A and B are shown apart, each in its own frame.
Chain A
Amino acid sequence: MNPTSTPGTQLGQPNSTAIFFFLLFVGVTLGITYWAARKTKTTSEFFAAGGGVSALQNGFALAGDYMSAASFLGIAGLVAMSGFDGLIYSVGWLVGWPVVTFLIAEPLRNLGKYTFADVVAYRLKQTPVRLAAALGTLTVVSFYLIAQMVGAGNLIHLLFGLSYEVAVVIVGAVMILYVLFGGMIATTWVQIVKAVLLLAGASALAGAVLYKFGFNPLALFNEAATQYGAQTLAPGALVSNPLETISLGLALMFGTAGLPHILMRFYTVPNAKAARSSVFYATGLIGYFYLVTFILGFGASVLVGRQAITSVDKGGNMAAPMLAEVVGGTGFLGFISAVAFATILAVVAGLTLSGAAALSHDLWSSVVRKGEAPEHEQLKVARLASLFLGVLAVVLGVAFKGQNVAFMVGLAFAIAASANFPALLLSMAWKKFTTYGAVSSMLTGSFSAVLLIFLSPTVQVDLLKNTSALFPLKNPGIITMPLAFVVGVLVSLLFPERESSERFAEVKHRMHMGAVQPPVPVAAKVAAATSKATPPPTPSKA
């Protein structure tokens, strides 16, 4: 798989346009980071951009946080190679967003400060809940980061011809600069710029493809069917086991609502209404993007050819960049390559920041310092945590070189759906939820998901080369997510917690009315009585 030996494409050669656009992107975003760094003086600015991001900006930033290289290059490649089947993933990755809109966005914004643990721990005992939630967050973030860093190394090696290690170090170093100095303000703008570039690049590419087919997508699909047979427009090998598909579907749908870096973005807007609108914008942008990706995939299979695509990368990941070269020449290839690079940077920055919030806000400030840490110390710990995670990302990226890590994104979604989502939903919607219930639900979700993935064919057969696997499904969501709900409910019912159900009125009030509290005698009294054991999160700037 040596990209430089491929005839007929500039892919993998040092490409002056690619380098120009890449340097331009890094230059502009580092300029933004410099500007953001001067505005980042408090923890609230570092983790939540001071709550000053508008709904439309956050919509773009959410889209930029979510649309990874896996969805751009991966889905385009999957569609190019297997046609219709790619659409199954696109749909799965989108349907999580309505769930986030309906169930999560507003309550989360009103109840929390920087992490989803703020919400789960609101009326429960801080220490055990924060520990369990931080475990869930860091597991999801680590697996997601490994997948992104390894992907980054491979892609940049293919796109620019740089060595894998150099690519991983560059991504890590630039990302650390964004997060360490610019915090959430810089990360938000990097994600916005990336989203605009990615959407513009993909649209231009799709436009160039459709231009060749009289702007009629059906003519394009029909051409693909003529070249590769009608089955390219029909479900193929991807869905051979219905149970498997449903399990993957559940993980994708509810995993989005448990991804720490996505949830964190809702704290950057001024109020619940803005949180609501921002998911609406994000869903539209991401849905549009997936429809465009579908055009790109078919365009690549028709205009580039499946054989040419696999000759560069067996996974088909180079379909979109190769298509850019065919329709727009080396210049366009350079632009799309730089966009792919920017895409990875924006995603890893968001991931690192959410991991840093779990380390510094949940573990250090709440568990170790019991909410007594002064502001300047919190900010210092937050920066140290970002630096630590950034370096860890580079180390993990290098350590996992050459491994097949594609399953890790699926794993991250499965853990998010099982460890984070059930506890988050129950804490917002169920009066009788307790500390024991939350902790057991989160731990059950994390451990069962990791264990079942370890026992699945993906690890046992594909990775460890065993002949069979103990657990038959590749994705455990169908078992682990219901299990986490059941355990959370049963344990809560077995060990009731009076304080938690008494404070539910306060939760309900704040969840709907926001943090600006008119006097509510009952809740205030309970809060005052319990404030020693469970300091209520300080109201954010809203």
Chain B
Amino acid sequence: MSSKSQEDALEALAASRWRVAAVLTVATLVAYFGFILLVAFNKPLMGHQIAPGLSVGILLGAVVIVTAWALTGIYMIWANGKYDRALSQLRR
């Protein structure tokens, strides 16, 4: 691979990593601030019990925690697969 095309490939790879990172960061922001804004502006909904003992707020809080972890998992799967393969191609 010539150094010029290698530069271009790295450029593209860097751009795609930042794109994935940005999308996932925004997803985290949406999940978290969605939760916070509901807490702030719709207390009755958050206090509503779907089942005895389970309010919407508790459910969503747990969902945000699990989502946050799942998003890091999605990133890891993408990075360990596609991203690392492209990196090792570049290193060659």
Interface residues of B (CB under 8 A from A): 3, 7, 10-11, 13-14, 17-18, 20-22, 24-25, 28-29, 31-33, 35-37, 39-41, 43-44, 46-47, 49, 51-55, 57-58, 61-62, 64-66, 68-69, 71-73, 75-76, 79-80, 84, 87, 90-91
B32–A95 touching, CB < 8 Å: yes
Most buried by B among A95, A103, A291, A509: A95
A521-B4 Cα distance, complex, nearest whole Å: 10
| Nearest opposing residue in chain A for B22, CB measure | A102
Q: Identify the stretch in A277-285, A359-367, A394-402 within 8 Å (CB) of chain B at 4 or more residues.
A: A277-285
Q: A91, A245, A509: which contacts B65 (Cβ < 8 A)?
A: A91
Tell me, rounded to whole Å, the shortest Cβ–Cβ distance linking A244 to chain B. Answer: 9
Q: A222, A273, A511: which contacts B14 (Cβ < 8 A)?
A: A511
- Check A326 for interface membership: any CB of B closer than 8 A: no
A95–B64 touching, CB < 8 Å: yes
A233-B56 Cα distance, complex, nearest whole Å: 9
B47–A101 touching, CB < 8 Å: no
Chain B residues touching A, majority SS: helix
B39–A88 touching, CB < 8 Å: yes
Given contact pairs A102-B21, A102-B75, A512 touches B87 in the complex (Cβ within 8 A)? yes
- Interface digits, A512-523 against B, CB 8 Å rule (1 contact, 0 not)? 110000101100
Chain A residues touching B, majority SS: helix
- Interface digits, A496-518 against B, CB 8 Å rule (1 contact, 0 not)? 00000000010011011100001
- Interface digits, A97-117 against B, CB 8 Å rule (1 contact, 0 not)? 111011100100000000000
Query: For residue B53, which residues in chain A have a CB less than 8 angstroms away from its CB?
Result: 217-225, 233
Tell me, rounded to whole Å, the shortest Cβ–Cβ distance linking B27 to chain A. Answer: 8
Given contact pairs A220-B53, A253-B29, A287 touches B43 in the complex (Cβ within 8 A)? no
Query: For residue B40, which residues in chain A have a CB less than 8 angstroms away from its CB?
Result: 235, 239, 242, 245-246
Query: For residue A224, which residues in chain B have a CB less than 8 angstroms away from its CB?
Result: 53
Most buried by B among A102, A103, A223, A224: A102
B49–A233 touching, CB < 8 Å: yes
A287-B62 Cα distance, complex, nearest whole Å: 9
